[in-house]
Copies of this chain bind each other. A is one copy, B any other.
Amino acid sequence: MAPPTPTFSPLYQQIKSLILRALEAGEWAPGQTIPSEQELAVRFGVSQGTVRKAIDELAAENILLRRQGKGTFVSSHHDPRALFRFLRLVPLNGGAAQPVSVPLECWRARAGQEASKNLQVAMGSPLTIIRRLLKFDVKPVVVDEIYLPGEMFQGLTLEVLQDWEGSLYSLFESRFGLRMIRASERVRAVAAERAVAEMLGVAEHSPLLSVERVAYTYADKPVEWRRGLYSTADHFYLNELN
């Protein structure tokens, strides 16, 4: 006897995949609308309700953004609301909530063991590395070291970074067509080494938050690995558990 089909995939999941593939292929640009539910229903040969359920899930994953009366939009890191989706840092007592990125260095290197594991690239493959400061209201709060697969970020230089107004991810989106969809962070407490302590204006050996992040684009492909050292003298890392 043949086994009963072990793989059952609901129609709306298949539609979801098709929409994702279209997004991945750049068929609709970030910030722009996708076709209406009715149009997509015709295109895919299913009912509007099925398209709706597919879009519902993509909206829940922050990949699409629905706006009643206007349409469904491809979400974009240009949207200022998108910033704090990935930066969970909040001032302790009021203070400036808008951070400013200050690029310090940008250079090329080759992937070591750790980078190769986190970015799922071969050992020795080219990397682009960024070091930068995050300031809240003139005050430095975070030092980041950011590892990127070199092939995907051709032409990324310190000048490009310095000329950019806005978040890193919005630069990645505009300049390199890479959209970060989700990320995973590992948080630990570490003692500040001297160089970092100086940059953040804290005493050597002060406790800092070490935040290691791997960020993924479509199809769960990792495209960024970063390590941030956060001074939590005036800020905290906020996490909502649901």
A61: interface (CB < 8 Å): yes
- 9 more contacts with CB within 8 A, not counting A183-B241, A184-B241, A185-B241, are A61-B242, A62-B242, A186-B239, A187-B232, A187-B238, A188-B236, A190-B207, A191-B206, A207-B207
Contacting residues, chain B, for A213 (C-beta < 8 A): 241
Please, how many angstroms separate the alpha-carbon atoms of A240 and B236 in the complex? 17
Please, how many angstroms separate the alpha-carbon atoms of A85 and B230 in the complex? 25
Please, how many angstroms separate the alpha-carbon atoms of A189 and B203 in the complex? 14
Min C-beta distance of A237 to chain B, whole Å:
4
Task: Determine whether the beta carbon of A241 is less than 8 Å from that of B86.
Answer: yes
Mask for A2-26, Cβ within 8 A of B = 1, else 0? 0000000000000000000000000
Task: Determine whether the beta carbon of A209 is less than 8 Å from that of B185.
Answer: no
Chain A positions near chain B (C-beta within 8 angstroms): 60-62, 85-86, 88, 90, 182-191, 205-209, 213, 230, 232, 236-242
Please, how many angstroms separate the alpha-carbon atoms of A123 and B20 in the complex? 53
Nearest chain B residue, comparing its CB with the CB of A182 = B242
Given A205-B205, A208-B207, CB of A88 within 8 Å of CB of B188:
no
What copy number does this chain have within its complex? 2
Q: Which of A61, A62, A205, A242 has the most CB of B within 10 A?
A: A242
Residue from the list B188, B190, B239 in contact with A185, Cβ < 8 A: B239
Nearest chain B residue, comparing its CB with the CB of A86 = B241
Contacting residues, chain B, for A238 (C-beta < 8 A): 184-187
Contacting residues, chain B, for A188 (C-beta < 8 A): 209, 232, 236-237
Please, how many angstroms separate the alpha-carbon atoms of A187 and B241 in the complex? 13
Please, how many angstroms separate the alpha-carbon atoms of A62 and B239 in the complex? 17
Please, could you name 26 A-B residue pairs with CB atoms under 8 Å apart, sorted by A? A86-B241, A88-B239, A90-B186, A182-B241, A182-B242, A183-B241, A184-B240, A184-B241, A185-B239, A186-B236, A186-B238, A187-B232, A187-B236, A187-B237, A187-B238, A187-B239, A188-B236, A189-B189, A189-B207, A189-B209, A190-B232, A191-B207, A205-B205, A207-B207, A209-B209, A213-B241
